[in-house]
Amino acid sequence: MTTSSLVEAADRSTVAPAPTPARSRRGAHPGRRWRRALTPVGLLLVWQAAAQTGRLPPEKLSAPSEVARAGWRLARDGTLGVHLLDSLTRAGIGLVIGGALALVLGAAAGLLRLGDDLVDPPVQMARMLPHLGLVPLLIIWVGIGESLKITLVALGAFFPIYFNTYAGIRDIDERLVEAARACGLGQLARLRHVVLPGALPSLFLGLRLALGAAWLSLVVGEQVNAQTGIGFLMMEAREFSQTEVVVLGLLVYALLGLLSDLALRMLERRTLTWRRGLQAR
């Protein structure tokens, strides 16, 4: 327990999405928000200018306007939508499989001593393997088709959710559980009213980390013999030297990560309203 939570804590600090300082800074000085947009916009302009004056060879890096044009073209003829949907489906299926498995095993290990003894040691050992390094082995096991991509996403999502479920349950204040028992709550009711809500903040953190890992796994997985998906779009574009489409694919991946994180954080804020009072202190 001690070692695992230590490792886990280290894991969190390295992988956790950086806290967004924007919110507090914005409040401090409204003008700063614009000032902070200055450099990115400037860089974009320099990039565009460099491309237009021919300083930047178009086959190495296309101009932002070219990327935007490619995006518009592919969105209009539906190509982008089809591939995006395929990528999203893979990510979704992988997340659900990996997440559900992690939730069940994490809960078993967190709640039951037997589960802890049986489940936790192998998971602790497996987490040392870099799951993206498993690609060659996975190709031997499940082939190069859809299942490879889904397995990779599921593996990526599994570990953060498992560890945060486990830690979330273990970190629950034993005294609150006792108070609930004194109030006459049975085991099931205690799970529902104390354990689940108590572990929820940790579950959200796990889910956010899992989303990040899922996108990363998807990017890697889609570079192996994909016939569809954003990754396929990029690989195909590389063969035809369509640099602007490669850059577009990268942007789409980045946007997916950003949007999913935003959506999750919104959901978190709505679900964990009780924490607002705590944070205000």
Partner 1 sequence: MATRTTGTLSTATTRPVVTAREVRRSFGGTVVLDDVDLAIDPGEVVALLGGSGSGKSTLLRILAGLDPDASGEISRMGSQAVVFQEHRLLPWKRVADNVSLGVTGGGVRERVAAALAEVGLADRGRSWPAELSGGQAQRVAVARALVREPALLLLDEPFGALDALTRLKMQTLFGRLRAEHNFAALLVTHDVDEALLLADRTLVLDGGRIVENAPVPLTRPRAADDPGFGPVRRHLLGRLGVQSGSDRGSAS
Which residues are near partner 1 by CB under 8 A? Answer: 175-176, 178-185, 189, 193-194, 197-198, 200, 272-278, 280-281
Comparison of 64 and 201: residue with beta carbon closer to partner 1: 201
Evaluate whether 220 touches 229 at the Cβ level (below 8 Å).
no
Judged by beta carbon, residue 250 or residue 272, the one nearer partner 1 is 272
Cα torsion 132, 134, 135, 138: sign: negative
Nearest to 210 by CA among 106, 56, 74: 106
Taking the complex as a whole, the smallest distance from the CB of residue 216 to partner 1 amounts, in Å, to 32
Token digits of residue 77: 């003829």
Q: Rank residues 38 and 280 by Cβ distance to partner 1 and give the closer one.
A: 280
Closest CB 274 distance from partner 1, rounded Å: 5
On whether the CB atoms of residues 228 and 86 are closer than 8 A, the answer is yes
In whole angstroms, what is the distance from residue 170 CA to residue 263 CA? 27
Q: Which residue from 154, 139, 131, 134 is spatially nearest to 224, judged by alpha carbons? A: 139
Q: Which is nearer to partner 1, 15 or 112 (CB)?
A: 112
Q: How far is the CB of 165 from partner 1 (least distance, A)?
A: 17
Smallest gap from residue 107 Cβ to partner 1 (A): 18
Torsion sign, CA atoms 117, 118, 121, 123: negative
The nearer residue to partner 1, 40 or 277, going by C-beta atoms, is 277
Residue 56 has φ and ψ, to the nearest 5°, of -100, 110
CB of 7 to partner 1, least distance (A): 27
